[in-house]
Structure 1
């Protein structure tokens, strides 16, 4: 007597497919909204580090140089030269900056990212 047991089906259900589609699309939306702000932060940090290494002596000169770089770099929109904090540590110029970026996701939901950085 050879009795065959029914094999269970394998695969993804419609509910599982919808769950994964919502999860992946939410992650893609978040990535597409956050990535430009992260790019802007790294651009600001690169410009600030370059200016600090160039050896500009005065605070107004440093701020003016940052504003000139801001005019060239299209991705810098959140801060200007007046938002920079210029200090001197161990005979070295240190430029620091801080700003908040609010990203609207959908409806009343927003993401707030606090960026802080300084020259190396």
Structure 2
């Protein structure tokens, strides 16, 4: 007689637990993804504004136009930090995005960026 091996595989309880974890991760990803795409739009609009203007006012106005077209609501042209450097005008920005998860739980995402080659965001605006 041949002995029957123990059954292998995942139990129903384990399957439900794995699906619950995947569902929770999917829920968070579904709520974070739009904020990331907005961040990429902000990066693109800042790069475009930098090339479109030669003064801080022109750069801010150009950013506001791009923000309106791209549905950017987290940051405005007045929030941009524009500095003069050796290579010309550099634009930096930073903003927070709060994503409500459930009940009292929320997730705070901190986005920042710059057009500076050294990657360091400016702290003081241009005069």
* TM-score strictly above 0.5: yes
Equivalent residue pairs, number: 116
Question: What residue is the counterpart of 1:109 in the other structure?
Answer: 105
Consecutive unaligned residues in structure 1, runs of 5 or more: none
RMSD: 1.2
Aligned equivalents of 1:4, 1:71: Cα separation in 2:
73
Residue 33 (structure 1) shift? 0.5
Q: Which is bigger in relative contact order (C-alpha 8 A, separation at least 6)?
A: 1
For the 8 Å contact 2:49–2:60, the answer to whether it is kept is no
Question: What residue is the counterpart of 2:79 in the other structure?
Answer: 83
Q: Could you list the per-position Cα deviations for residues 58-109 of structure 1 after superposition, in whole angstroms to 9, with x for gaps in the alignment?
A: 21111111111111112x1101111000011114111110000111111111
Question: What residue is the counterpart of 1:68 in the other structure?
Answer: 65
User: How high is the TM-score relative to the length of structure 1?
Assistant: 0.90
Residue 53 (structure 1) shift? 2.2
Aligned equivalents of 2:107, 2:114: Cα separation in 1:
23
Question: What residue is the counterpart of 1:119 in the other structure?
Answer: 115
Q: 1:33 aligns with which of 26, 31, 34?
A: 31
Which structure: larger Rg? 1
Runs of 4+ in structure 1 off by over 6 angstroms are none
Question: What residue is the counterpart of 2:90 in the other structure?
Answer: 94
Consecutive unaligned residues in structure 2, runs of 5 or more: 117-127
Aligned equivalents of 1:47, 1:119: Cα separation in 2:
11
User: How high is the TM-score relative to the length of structure 2?
Assistant: 0.85
